[in-house]
Amino acid sequence: QVKLVESGGGSVQIGGSLKLACVGSGYTYSTYCMAWFRQNLGKERERVVSVASDGSASYGNFVKSRFTISRDNATNTLYLQMNSLKPEDTGMYYCAADRAPRYGGCWSRPADFGHWGQGTQVTVSS
């Protein structure tokens, strides 16, 4: 059974940093692509970044080099380093995973991912 557990959320001031982590289990980590999504009240879930099994990443337009994703296949852990945080970055951050596409790369839509963590809250305020 696939299980994803996020951690690292919290409350920070504008301009601060957080590092989120997602530990996966129950699947062959290196064959899955993974992603971070976020969602705020009343808004649709949006993709922050997705990363293929080879480590190649695709970021949402709003990231603008502030965030960096990394994955450690040895420990089945996905990280999201977030810098220069803004109030609009506030939301619940979710880790998602699913088998990588046959053609390589990773999925981009929430509906493409069958496995989700419980989420970790990020709050950015002045």
- DSSP string covering 73-120: TTTTEEEEEE-S--GGG-EEEEEEEEEPPTTSS---SGGG--EE---E
How far is it, in rounded angstroms, from Cα 93 to Cα 36?
Answer: 7
pLDDT at 63: 86
pLDDT of residue 31 exceeding 90, the answer is no
User: Mapping DSSP to helix (H, G, I), strand (E, B) and coil, where does residue 65 land?
Assistant: coil
Given a cut of 90, whether residue 41 has pLDDT beyond it is no
Average pLDDT for 107-124: 96
What is the reported pLDDT for 23?
96
How many residues make up the chain in this entry? 126
**pLDDT of 5 higher than 90:** yes
Average pLDDT of the residues of the chain = 93
Q: For 54-111, how does the pLDDT look when each residue is reduced to its tens digit (9 = 90+)?
A: 889 999 988 879 999 988 888 889 999 999 999 999 999 999 999 999 888 999 999 9
When pLDDT is cut at 50, 70 and 90, the band that residue 3 belongs to is: very high
